[in-house]
Amino acid sequence: MDNKPRSSKSAQDLVALYESLDEQARQSLCDFAEYLAATTVPVDKEIPPPAEIPRPDDETVVGAIKRLKATYHMVESMTVFSKASSLMTQHMMNGRDAVEVIDEMEVLFEQAYLELTDD
């Protein structure tokens, strides 16, 4: 591992670093994060409202995912990716109705946004 200074700019960078560590180093990182959280003033994150992007009448499931990612741009895509992928698979492989799948995706993204704003 190189000793170059790193500048982690996102939670994803931090997760990648965490995953590269052994168990003892992971525990140390978590302990340090808890120390920082306990000794600093929390940052108030202003969460913007969802963008108002209307749903087209003939929208595809892939188009819906793109629209919902743009609508709920503040939601980390990994938060909903697994469930959205499962819904898309149900549509593509099992022939589940696109409108029904898109309806569920909209609920999924909205719930992720509401969880984000409840913190």
Percent of all residues in the chain with a pLDDT value above 90, rounded to a whole number: 49
List the chain domain ranges.
1-43, 61-118
More confident residue, 78 or 62: 62
The 10s digit of each residue's pLDDT in 20-35 is 999 999 898 888 888 8
Residue 3 has pLDDT above 90, yes or no: no
Q: Which candidate, 70, 45, 35, places its Cα nearest to that of 55?
A: 70
Angle (nearest 5°) at CA 11 between 10 and 12: 90
The pLDDT of residue 80: 87
pLDDT mean over 54-81? 90
CB-CB neighbours of 35 under 10 Å: 10
d(CA 66, CA 86): 16
- Alpha carbons within 13 angstroms on the beta-carbon side of residue 31 total 6
The tokens for 22 are 């052994």
Residue 119 pLDDT level (bands cut at 50, 70, 90): low
The 10s digit of each residue's pLDDT in 66-75 is 999 999 988 8
d(CA 115, CA 119): 7
pTM: 0.61
The pLDDT of residue 96: 93
Q: Which candidate, 27, 32, 20, 14, places its Cα nearest to that of 78?
A: 14
